Homo-oligomer: A and B are copies of this chain.
Amino acid sequence: MKIQRRARTPGRPRAFDADRALDRALEVFWRKGYEGASLSDLTRAMRINRPSLYAAFGDKQGLFRKALDRYAEGPASYTRDALNEATARAAVERLLYGTADAMSDVRNPRGCLLVQGALACGDEASTVKRELIARREAGERALCQRLKRAKLEGDLPPDSDPVVLARYVATVNQGIAVQAASGASRAALRKIAEIALRAWPK
């Protein structure tokens, strides 16, 4: 989702790259969570001043939502790719190992923005919390749809329950996110994924 200035508009041109600034805001939210990230933290990291932030992204919640979109299309894009694997097993493998890798990527903060962005928070951030819940659930539903298809295709046993399996995988992913936030190594996270896959129906 490019934030682009309308071409051919008079007025002083924007002196910063909005996408680059958004990336920096994303990193701050990722590291500190929605509540923990102050506007001063954000403007410092984005290297713009406050009115520029408000003009380009709206208020703090607006900026956070745009950061969420960017997160989904960037660091978390593997989750969508994983669902395109040929088999349910391959999709879930790629999902779990992809999470292990993504959450221990040294170029990014540890853990998952969708989990640690606002897990428990004050009243003011509760709409943000609900937004994150909705996005996590959407991911789980997408996986569930993929597993239902797999069941129809005979790719999953007839007695398996896609709803429960999708919830299990989502749960392990979220658990891995917490482990990563605690500082667990990539190797440790991958071993978790390996064990978790032993529960997968044959």
Query: Does residue A44 face the partner (Cβ distance < 8 Å to B)?
Result: no
Interface residues of A in 26-67 (CB under 8 A from B): 30-33, 35-38, 41
| A20 interfacial by beta-carbon distance below 8 Å | no
Are the CB atoms of B181 and A171 closer together than 8 Å? no
Report, as a range, how many residues of chain A touch the other chain. 35 or more
Residues of B within 8 A of A167 (CB): 179, 184, 188, 191-192
By DSSP majority rule, is chain A's interface helix, strand, loop, or mixed?
A: helix
Residues of B within 8 A of A33 (CB): 35, 119-122
Measured CA separation A165–B36 after assembly (Å): 33
Contacts of A35 in B (CB 8 A): 33, 35-36, 121-122
Q: Known contacts A33-B119, A117-B120, A120-B36; is A178 also within 8 Å of B184 by CB?
A: no
- Once A171-B179, A175-B174, A199-B198 are accepted as A-B contacts, the answer to whether A31 and B120 lie under 8 Å apart by CB is yes
Q: List the B side residues contacting A119 at CB < 8 Å.
A: 33, 111, 115-116, 119, 178, 181
When the two chains form the complex, which single residue of B37, B176, B177, B198 contacts A198, counting CB atoms closer than 8 Å?
B198
- Complex-state Cα separation, A37 to B165, whole angstroms: 35
For A199, the chain B residues whose CB sits under 8 A away are: 195-199
A3 at the interface (CB under 8 A from B): no
- Per-residue B-contact encoding for A164-202, CB less than 8 Å = 1, 0 else: 110110111111111101111000100110011111000
Closest residue on chain B to residue A177 by CB atoms: B178
